[in-house]
Copies of this chain bind each other. A is one copy, B any other.
Amino acid sequence: MNRVTAADVAAAAGVSRSTVSYVLNGSDRVRFPESTVARVLEAAARLNYTPNAAASSLRRGRSDVVLAVLHDMPHGTALGRLLDELTAVVAAQGRSLVTWAAREGSALADVLRDLTPRVIVELMPFGDEDRATAAGSGVPVLSAIDALLDLESHVGAAQVDHLAGLGHRRVGVVTVDEPRVEVFARARRASAADALRRHGLAAPPVAVMGEAGAAAADVLAESLREWTRGPDPVTAVACYNDLFAAITCAAAERAGLSVPHDLAVVGVDDEPLGAWLSPTLTTVRVDLPALATAIAAALAGDARSRDVDVIGEGRDVALVVRGTSGAPRSGSVDQTSR
C-alpha cells in the first residue's frame, strides 16, 4: 500500500495541494466555500489520508510530541496513575504524550535521534549525560523533579504528623538504598525527620533496606528488636513505601511485635494490595492527577528554551488511615502519669 499524500487528495478533489493543507489545518487566514471544503474532506476520508508526521514537523519546525522520560525502576501503580493522567491532559492540548523508559546503558540521545519532541518531561532525575544531551538538543526540558520533591517533602511529614497525633513519641524510619530513587527516598526521610523535630521528638533511628528479597524481613526484624529494646522503645515506623511497610509488618511479627499495638506502621503510595493486608495498611496517598494537571499547565505555557519547574502544592498529600496505625500501647514509659 503506497502512502496517500496530500497530492493524491488534491487530485481526487480537483484542487491544489495547498488548498488541501488549508482545509485540513483549518487555517483562520483563509475561508473556503462549503463546497470546496466538503469535496476535500470527502476525498481525504475516502482515500484514508493520514498526513505524514515527519514532513509536517519538518516544515513547521516543531512537533506535537511530548516525551515523558522515566527510568526502569520497578514502580508501583502510583507512577502509572500519573502517566495516565498526563497522557489525557496532554491529549486535551492537541499533543501526544509518549513515554520512554531510560535504562542502564540506554541514553536519551538514542531516542532523540529517532524522535524530536516538542518538549521533554523529566519525571525521574536525569544523569549528567542525559542532562547534557537534553540541553544540547535544544528541546526544552520541563522538569517535574522539583514538584515531585515538593510532594515528597510532605509525605514524610504526613506520616509523622499522623503518628505523633496518635501519641507516638519514638518513631523509626525505614528507607531504601537504590540509586534510582535515592533523591526521593532522601526527601521522604528528611521530611519525616523534620516533622519529628517540629513535634519536639527525637531524631529517628533509620533502617536502610536493600533489595526487597526474602531476607529483607529478617534483616529488618533485627533492627526492630534493637529499636524496641530499652527504656524508650520505638512504637511506630514511617516506611519508604507500601512494599516496605508490608515488609515491616512481616518483620514485626518475626520480632514478636504486634501491629499496630506494639508497633504502628505507615506506608506510602496507596497500593491497591495494601488495603487487603491484615491488618490493612495505613498509607499516604499522593495526588498525582493534580501534579499531572500542573505539568500540563506548564506545558501549555510552553517552556521556551529554559527549563521550567512545576510547583506542586503541599496539600496534595492525603493520609489513608487503616489498620496498621493506632495509638501506642498505654502511653510511653516516660509518661508515668495517667
Contact = CB atoms under 8 A, between A and B. Distances in A.
Given A111-B96, A114-B64, A91 B74 contact: no
Tallying the copies of this chain within the complex gives 2
Interface in A152-192: none
Given A75-B80, A95-B114, A138 B87 contact: no
Contacts of A55: 54, 58
B98 A137 contact: no
A58 B274 CA distance: 49
Given A87-B72, A305-B1, A116 B274 contact: no
A144 interface: no
A115 interface: yes
Interface string A71-96: 01011110011011001100100011
Interface stretch (A9-17, A123-131, A199-207, A247-255): A247-255
Contact of A50 (B65, B77, B136): B136
A203 B100 CA distance: 44
Interface residues of A, number: 67
23 contacts: A50-B112, A50-B113, A50-B138, A52-B116, A53-B115, A54-B58, A54-B63, A56-B113, A63-B115, A65-B115, A67-B98, A74-B77, A74-B81, A74-B84, A75-B77, A84-B101, A97-B100, A246-B277, A249-B276, A250-B278, A273-B274, A273-B277, A276-B277
Given A72-B84, A84-B101, A88-B106, 9 more contacts: A48-B136, A50-B138, A53-B54, A57-B114, A64-B114, A74-B272, A83-B101, A273-B273, A277-B277
